[in-house]
Structure 1
């Protein structure tokens, strides 16, 4: 593709949540700090919500990489599971052999025994669920019951929920008031501001090995921030397409023309108005009104 053309060794705007590209922007750092502090307290649910593409999965993986050896993590990236499937998935993550399980009651007992054994080793058990808004209602209740398992000193398991804003809407229902009261820490990810978008672009290009003059002009960065609404995934999509188009044209810098083409080709992007056509339309409208007024006077 364009790697050799721009002097890069890796794709700067891939959609895979690669922690090597993690950048310490305020919303992401704050979310990680909330998670780390909350996990040290050892109680209840922790919730991180944000719009699609704001970096929840990247933060999740960054957290998994940074937790110390005192933590035992069970990570469920796809939580669209029935209560039975949820228990089985947790058991597998905790190293329980499912072939020996007789029924759900037996499985719940094995999970509790494993949690007690890990707790006796001074281990903190964390259950992390990505895309938690997809959890069925029965599974949310089963998840709450997991947190009933405790010793006299502490809970045997903590639960971290990553989800879209729909998760907040679901938890606001009266049926989930017990679970909602157990959420001790929460954080809502916001989109990036314009200055953060510019820093984000520079950082990812630097990590990918780019060392030339700025690929995106200040005007292009402003347009990209507006079109992406500060959502990292959209920034990646638009920047990647713009680089492809610029490479195809043999350019060494992204042009406004190619960035606008990338925006027009991306359904979820906010399409900026073309001010040239808007100005032309305004002039025509003024002329028509003037002509109408003159006719009225003449009449």
Structure 2
């Protein structure tokens, strides 16, 4: 037996990567669903920019709430890291102070990047057979290609060739 009082929420993360055609199909699909079904799209600001174009007004007119999430403060990120470490039984001193500062500077308030950089730094720490994550471990993580900018990767590939005489 179906309970009609329940509300269904469908959440799509990284919605800015969706083609507008897919968003149109989702809009048509949700017209057939009961009114208590909701679609939640999480994405970068460019999603709102694309939806604000005149050709997408039919989709934008169905938005009932939107919010821009600002970068987190360093204190909030530090609290998140300490909480996550405690959840897995590691001490708050697993990252030394200098390593923590490099992480906070590198992620610029982005929680997902913070989590990923912490994981990668901890892996580098384990590979080094150490218990405390230091700046060298964080820097080893940041040297991986996906942490570097596109321009930095291109500069690395185009090194000046020496001319031998």
Match of 1:163, SS state, is coil
Partner Cα separation in structure 2 for residue 269 and residue 236 of structure 1? 17
1:122 corresponds to: 5
2:115 corresponds to: 236
Aligned residues, how many? 149
TM-score by length of 2: 0.71
Do structure 1's residue 203 and structure 2's residue 83 form an aligned pair? Answer: yes
Partner Cα separation in structure 1 for residue 124 and residue 36 of structure 2? 53
2:38 corresponds to: 158
Greater C-alpha Rg:
1
2:160 corresponds to: none
For structure 2, the 5+ residue unaligned runs are 150-165
1:180 aligned to 35, 60, 64, which one? 60
Residue 205 of structure 1: CA displacement?
0.8
Do structure 1's residue 264 and structure 2's residue 143 form an aligned pair? Answer: yes
- Checking the alignment, whether the CA contact within 8 Å between 2:98 and 2:134 is kept in structure 1 is no
Partner Cα separation in structure 1 for residue 60 and residue 20 of structure 2? 13
CA change 1:173–1:216 in 2 (3 A) is same
- Checking the alignment, whether the CA contact within 8 Å between 1:149 and 1:157 is kept in structure 2 is no
Partner Cα separation in structure 2 for residue 195 and residue 170 of structure 1? 34
1:133 aligned to 9, 12, 16, which one? 16
Residue 207 of structure 1: CA displacement?
0.7
Residue 254 of structure 1: CA displacement?
1.6
Do structure 1's residue 169 and structure 2's residue 49 form an aligned pair? Answer: yes
Partner Cα separation in structure 2 for residue 238 and residue 122 of structure 1? 42
1:286 corresponds to: none
Partner Cα separation in structure 2 for residue 144 and residue 215 of structure 1? 47
CA change 1:140–1:262 in 2 (3 A) is closer
The 5 A counterparts of 1:275-294 are none
Match of 2:71, SS state, is coil
Deviations 1:113-162 (A, max 9, x none): xxxx968x3343444333333443333233334454589xxx35332222
1:76 corresponds to: none
Match of 1:160, SS state, is strand
TM-score by length of 1: 0.42
Partner Cα separation in structure 2 for residue 213 and residue 137 of structure 1? 44
Task: Identify the structure with bigger relative contact order (alpha carbons < 8 Å, sequence gap 6+).
Answer: 1
- Checking the alignment, whether the CA contact within 8 Å between 1:127 and 1:158 is kept in structure 2 is yes
Residue 269 of structure 1: CA displacement?
5.3
- Checking the alignment, whether the CA contact within 8 Å between 1:215 and 1:252 is kept in structure 2 is yes
- Checking the alignment, whether the CA contact within 8 Å between 1:118 and 1:124 is kept in structure 2 is no
The 5 A counterparts of 1:1-299 are 121-148=4-31, 155=35, 157-210=37-90, 212=91, 214-268=93-147
